Structures are given as structure tokens and as C-alpha cells.
Structure 1
Amino acid sequence: MRTLIFVVLLGTGLHGAAAVAHSLKYFYTASSGVPNFPEFVGVGMVDDVQIDHYDSNTKRTEPKQDWMSRVTEDEADYWERETGNFMGAQQAFKANIEIAKQRFNQTGGVHIFQFMCGCEWDDETKDENRPASGFYQFGYDGEDFISFDLKTETWIAPKPQAVITKHKWDNDKAWISSQKQYLTQRCPDWVKKYVDYGRRSLLRTELPSVSLLQKTPSSPVSCHASGFYPDRATLIWRKDGEELHEDVELGEILPNHDGTFQTSADLKPSASEDWGKYECVFQLSGVKDDVVTRLDKAKIRSNEKNSLVIPIVIVAVVVLALVVVAALGFVVYRKKNAKRPPSPVINPEVMEQLNPEA
């Protein structure tokens, strides 16, 4: 898979009674040879909302949501421990870039080493029959490198340069057990905690403002919905009450700078005399009434008329190329340790055994 910008795609069937799945994801990015950019950046996301940030310039983990201050009510040293986790990852990732360069027979240049992990938990099943939905994925220079298959409890190496790492990690049964424990137990437990801390914000619903836009009279008409929350939404075009699939192009759901979301759906309508039969319909999960906007030429905002510029500030959520020859030791669970961190722990000492010369 090539490098991706993480966005949330349109869902369907939102008016049903399906359980709401909540997620926790961590994104780590290390770089080499990139000017004016931190060598290491780490962020955590709950339901695709950033909750914290660490980088090699500040060398500290900082909250990105006001409600994250509640975490210290339960664990006073939370932020110190998270900073320690990220600092350990920073060292490991720096070493892994050098190891990867050796594996690919590279010297200088710009190189990116990336990692993401995460899990889901839904508020209906609670702790019963928790599905195995967690993942670990690593990437190097925009290509998949190695990933963890939770069902088979083995590592997948799409690159020849990752095979040596796969064999080492597959043979370390204790480490695999710790990965599974983190993804299926510790990670979902922290999802529940975070959702509880940010319940008022994360479980709110906000309807969007909807606009009809058109660049030129011959261009498709775009129905643009912005300012909605959460991102579980659909935007469709209907004609005479029937959903259209032909001559319709659905856009992605993208984040706004204020934590809400936006999306669009483009339509190539037929003859202008039929335009009154079209309507754009926005549906938001948890909200009974749809937002319906009938296609009306008088309401279309056109570039030709007023040089409209749509103010869209898109928050780019960590670019990810999944995965590297790295050696990332996540949480090593010890029975004596009562306080375990919410994010994966990277153990720099693991790096030596992954060295291609070893």
C-alpha cells in the first residue's frame, strides 16, 4: 500500500440500531533528512479526534483536548509516563531508520519510518465476546513493511527485507503474547476510559450547514455539507425520492479545523427543466430527521458569479505508509507492574537483535 492520508469514508445504513464503535489509534513518524521538521512525532487519536501530541523538539507529551485533563484524576503520573513511552519510541525509531537503510542498501537522502496501532470497542457488547480488531502496522518510505495478523498471531512481511524481522518476531512467543494482550485487553480498556472522559464532546451530535456549489454552468453541482459531528454520516442525491448512483460522485469525509467534519456529493443533473426533482439528503447517525436540500438554480453559489472560495481547513492526520523492519517492543506486561501505560511502549534495546549484521 502506498502512503496514505487517513480519512474516514462515508458509511451507510446510519438510521439503524447498530452499536457505536469507538477507536483508539497511535501514529508514530520518524524522519531522516527532512529539514525544518521534527525527527519524531507521535500522536494519539480517539474516534479520530487527536488527544495528545509529542515531538522530538518539545520532548514532552501534551493534551490536545480539554477533557484529557481528567486522566490525572485517576493516574497522577499519566503525562510523565506517556512522555517516557514516546521518548523510548523516538530512540527506537531513529535506530530503525538506520537499520532499514542498511537493509535497502541506502546511504543518504530523505527517509520516513512509520507505525500505527489501534483497536476498537463498542458500547453495546461491553466486555463480552470482544472481537479481535486490533492491529500493528509498520512502514518505510511509503511502503508496507511488516504487520501483525491478530487472528493467526503471526507477522506478515510483504518485503524481502522484512523476512528476517518476521522470523525473529514469530519465534518470540512471549512478545507475541504481549502484543495480543495489549490489542485485545489494555487498548480497549483505555478506549472506554477516554470515551468516558470525553463523553460530552465525543458523543455529541451536530448537524451541518449545506450549500449547493457549481464552478461553471456546465460543471457538476456539488452538495457540500460542513460542520457535522460525528463522522458517521451519509450524503446522497435523490430524484423523485429514489437514491441516485449514476452520474453521482461521492466525496470523502474530511476533518475541519474545529473538530467537526465535511463532505460533498457531486451530481451531473439531466435537463434543467427536471432540476426541481433532485434533492441532496444528509443523514447523521443518531439523528432521526434528515437534512434535505432541494436543487434550486437560484440557491447555487457559482465561482463565475462571486468568485467563491470555500474556506476548508483540512487537518492532515498522520501520513502512514505501513511499516518497517524495525524492532518495536510494545508493552511488556509484567505481573509486578500494576500501572500499565495506555500507549505502546517501544524498547530501544530490541533494536540490536534486528540489525542485519547480527
Structure 2
Amino acid sequence: MKALIGLLLLVFGHDVSSVIHSLQFFQTASSGLSTFPEYVMVLMVDEVQVEYYDSNTQRIITKQDWMDQANRKDPGYLVRETERRKGHQQVFKGNIGTLKKRFNQTGGTFTSNRMDGCEWDDEDGTTEGYEQHGYDGEDFLAWDLKTLTWVAPVHQALTTKHRWEQNRALIEQYKYYYTKECVDWLKKFLAYGKSTLQRTERPRVSLLQRSPSSPVVCHATGFFPNRVVVFWRRDGQELHEQVDPGEVLPNHDGTFQVSVDLDLTAVPQEDWGRYECVVQLKGIEDISTPWTPPSSGPTGGTRVTSLLSSSLVLLFLLLLLLLLLESFCTGRGIIQTSVTNQLILTPALRTLRGRNWLLSTNLCPQFKVKS
């Protein structure tokens, strides 16, 4: 799969000129899980959570300030959508009962999932729509908008597939929703949340390596939107081998992060400087960060691990020197209390925390130790 991705990138290159916006609904129903709501719905726009609903509260909780402003313009929105969620909750509950019979199941825990939504390319206007159903962690049914048919990967789904495909009115309803109505909602949400959803935040890029035998990690974080391209180059040529791309993940502040590893174990260290990590995001200039061998010192890619290791070694040597010095002077390095039977720090180690232990020219200062 990675080789195929590399070939496609080699032929078609990277395209960050357009942004594909998305509207996604995630619904999960469960049975037999006492600590989890029977039904949960999450609405996301461009990978940003906008709404949350569950069967315990039976109300929609908005997750963005701009969504609250939009609701004030349409006071009936939350009422209408809340009733729809309650209806979906009952449908999913019934579906689990039906599927348990089809799979010949009785007791235990069961889950039913549905993911549906649409995408819109803001450059050429093309759209996509999709709907996928799962049961107990496995694919169950998927909508194919191009053929207007349902794909059933398991035989237990064939009954539903045939029934839905025979209903021509239902087919046309699905077609209209995923090509028109869903896209209209997406554009409306994008307009409401323009300052948030259509902003651009520049990524912060770091190059990290735990040891000379470890991969070099190009870590980009703090960027928005999530449509970022990160790749490695050698002498200006993009690399497709020795590269392990990671998944784009969300940060707690609404931005995103991603890491791409580069394996340099077969590359002489003197050639490491020929490599650089490139980060591309629409609206900003490409960020190129060269990898500098450790002997050349840190560059734009921070050498966090190496600095930390050096500091720890220095601290260890300093503590060892103090212990040897005190043992030489007093014959005691670490004192064990008779009351608590626990090890405590000697005065020399305690002075390291808050006082300058080199103030005295006497190599054997008098320590007062309480046992």
C-alpha cells in the first residue's frame, strides 16, 4: 500500500491548491453497555466537532461558539434536529434487535454504527456522498452514490440491500440528499463558521531522533486545516522509500499534528545533511527543514532528545561527585533513619536543590545530619 501511495505521488504530485470540505455524521447505538449511552450522535465539519447528542441527555450540545450564533438566527433548528435525533435513537434500537436475530445472537454487548456525509471541493465544485453501516465492529452495508446501489459485504445484509434497492422513491431520496441537501448544509456551516473553519494556522516543525539508529521524525503540529502534506527530500528529490507516513491527529486546541519517519540506518552520517523535511499547507509557503547531523549542532529541527540526554549525564556525574565527596569527609553517603526506615538525602544533595554548594573553599564542610 505504501508503495502504491508513493507511485501515485510520483505521477500526480502533491496538490494543496484546493481544500476538500466535509460534513460528517457519526452515530453509534449499543446494547448491554450500562456505562455507555444507548445512542450517541456526533456532527463534524472539516474534522471539527460541531454537535453532540446522546440518549441520556436527549438534547443537542453545540461545541462551537459560531454554532450558537447560527442557532440564534434559526431558533427552531435545535428543536427540529433534537426530534430527529430522538427518532434515529429509536430506529437504531430496533435495528440492533433485528440484527441480533439475523446473526443468531442472544446475550452480550452489541453495537451498531453509521457514518454518513458529503464532501465538496471548493476549487472545482465536485462533490461526493457516502453512507456506511457497521455492526459489532464489522462492515455491514455501504451506499454507492455512483451506481445508486447498496454494497453488502456479509450475507446477513442482503435482505436490507434488496429491500432498499427495490424502493425507487427511497433511492431518489438518497441521491438528492447526498448530491444537494447535504452539500447545501455543508456550505451553510462553512459560512457560519468561516472565521474558525476557513482559517489557516502555520505548523510548527521539529526534527527529532532518539538515537543514531532510530528513524528521524519530522513532526508538524499546530496547523489548521488538517489537509497538510508532509514529505522527505534528498538533494531536492522527494523520497518514497525509507519513509513511514503517520496519520493526521487532532490536538486539544482544535489544531492538528502529524509525523513522518525517515529511516537513515543505511545512510552514512556524513550524508544526513542532504535530507530535509517539507511541509505544505494551502495559504502558506512551503516549510523546508534540513536534517543536520548531531556533530553539526541543532538546527530548525530541534535536537530535544540529545540535549536532554546530555543534561541527565551531567546531573548524574554531579550527584556522584557530591556523594563521593561527602563519603570521603564523613564516611556516610546516604543516611537511613531509624524511625521511618526510609532513605533520605544527605545534606550535600539537599544543598543542590536550593544553595550553592561551592561557596566554601573547605572540601569537607561540617554537615549536621538528623537521624
Q: Shorter-chain-normalised TM-score: which range?
A: 0.7 to 0.9
Question: What CA distance in whole angstroms lies between the structure 2 residues aligned with 1:189 and 1:225?
Answer: 33
Question: What CA distance in whole angstroms lies between the structure 1 residues aligned with 2:122 and 2:272?
Answer: 43
> In the superposition, relative to structure 1, how do residues 306 and 112 fare at CA in structure 2: closer, same or farther (>3 Å)?
farther
Structure 2 partner of 1:258: 253
Structure 1 partner of 2:305: 302
Deviations 1:50-96 (A, max 9, x none): 11000111110111111111322442111111111111111111111
> In the superposition, relative to structure 1, how do residues 124 and 220 fare at CA in structure 2: closer, same or farther (>3 Å)?
closer
2:280 aligned with 1:283? yes
How far residue 247 of structure 1 moved from its aligned partner, in angstroms, is 1.5
Question: What CA distance in whole angstroms lies between the structure 2 residues aligned with 1:238 and 1:286?
Answer: 21
Structure 2 partner of 1:155: 150
Greater RCO (Cα-Cα under 8 Å, separation 6 or more): 1
Question: What CA distance in whole angstroms lies between the structure 1 residues aligned with 2:211 and 2:286?
Answer: 32
How far residue 253 of structure 1 moved from its aligned partner, in angstroms, is 1.1
The one-letter amino acid of 1:261's match is F
Question: What CA distance in whole angstroms lies between the structure 2 residues aligned with 1:236 and 1:230?
Answer: 17
The one-letter amino acid of 2:167's match is D
**Which residue of 205, 208, 213 maps to 1:213?**
208
Number of residue pairs matched? 293
- Greater helix share, structure number: 2
Question: What CA distance in whole angstroms lies between the structure 1 residues aligned with 2:109 and 2:168?
Answer: 35
2:33 aligned with 1:34? yes
How far residue 238 of structure 1 moved from its aligned partner, in angstroms, is 1.6
How far residue 108 of structure 1 moved from its aligned partner, in angstroms, is 1.1
> In the superposition, relative to structure 1, how do residues 218 and 83 fare at CA in structure 2: closer, same or farther (>3 Å)?
same
Structure 2 partner of 1:86: 85
Deviations 1:22-45 (A, max 9, x none): 111101001112241111110111
Equivalent pair of 2:42/2:51 in contact (CA under 8 Å): yes
Question: What CA distance in whole angstroms lies between the structure 2 residues aligned with 1:140 and 1:208?
Answer: 38
> In the superposition, relative to structure 1, how do residues 12 and 195 fare at CA in structure 2: closer, same or farther (>3 Å)?
farther
Equivalent pair of 1:14/1:286 in contact (CA under 8 Å): no
Structure 2 partner of 1:13: 14
Deviations 1:142-178 (A, max 9, x none): 1111122212222221211111111111111112211
2:53 aligned with 1:50? no
Tell me the secondary structure at the aligned position of residue 304 of structure 2: strand
Q: What is the percentage of aligned positions where both structures have the same residue?
A: 52
Map 1:145-184 → 2, pairs under 5 A: 145-184=140-179
Question: What CA distance in whole angstroms lies between the structure 2 residues aligned with 1:306 and 1:117?
Answer: 51
Structure 2 unpaired stretches of 5+: 1-8, 313-371
Map 1:1-358 → 2, pairs under 5 A: 13-15=14-16, 17=17, 19-125=18-124, 131=127, 133-269=128-264, 270-297=267-294, 298-299=297-298, 300-302=303-305, 305=309
How far residue 291 of structure 1 moved from its aligned partner, in angstroms, is 4.2
Equivalent pair of 1:14/1:233 in contact (CA under 8 Å): no
Equivalent pair of 1:71/1:78 in contact (CA under 8 Å): no
Tell me the secondary structure at the aligned position of residue 91 of structure 1: helix
The one-letter amino acid of 1:157's match is A
Deviations 1:173-203 (A, max 9, x none): 1122111111111101111100001111111
Deviates more, 1:283-292 or 1:218-227: 283-292
TM-score of the aligned structures, taking structure 1 as reference length: 0.77
> In the superposition, relative to structure 1, how do residues 140 and 235 fare at CA in structure 2: closer, same or farther (>3 Å)?
same
How far residue 301 of structure 1 moved from its aligned partner, in angstroms, is 2.3
Equivalent pair of 2:19/2:227 in contact (CA under 8 Å): no
> In the superposition, relative to structure 1, how do residues 237 and 305 fare at CA in structure 2: closer, same or farther (>3 Å)?
same
Question: What CA distance in whole angstroms lies between the structure 2 residues aligned with 1:38 and 1:220?
Answer: 42
TM-score of the aligned structures, taking structure 2 as reference length: 0.74
Tell me the secondary structure at the aligned position of residue 224 of structure 1: strand
